[in-house]
Structure 1
């Protein structure tokens, strides 16, 4: 099993916080950014990091500047 990096954990926490502030479920965010609910869960739990295009879509969907997600 792959070890989760601190940066992935920090990014995941930021995605989750922004999603909760936007009052969106993981499924709703996934649909908005063309990803599955499981992928959003994996991002939030630091299992994987979103690719650049996905992170840009997340920022737009959650009304956050892209640099909000910088870790």
Structure 2
């Protein structure tokens, strides 16, 4: 079981995503880490049938909380 909350953007109103499926979270986390390593890239997240795409830069704040980790 996975329980991850992802925040993208700056406070006080960052975008918030919840992940309960380990394989979905692994895919998103891999995109985030690859973009961070490269210093740029995209992060694609499926949300209620839509695809949300963020263009990563060093100025885009990305944080997550893994419950029970």
Q: TM-score, normalised by structure 2?
A: 0.33
Larger % of helix: which? 1
Give the TM-score normalised by structure 1.
0.32
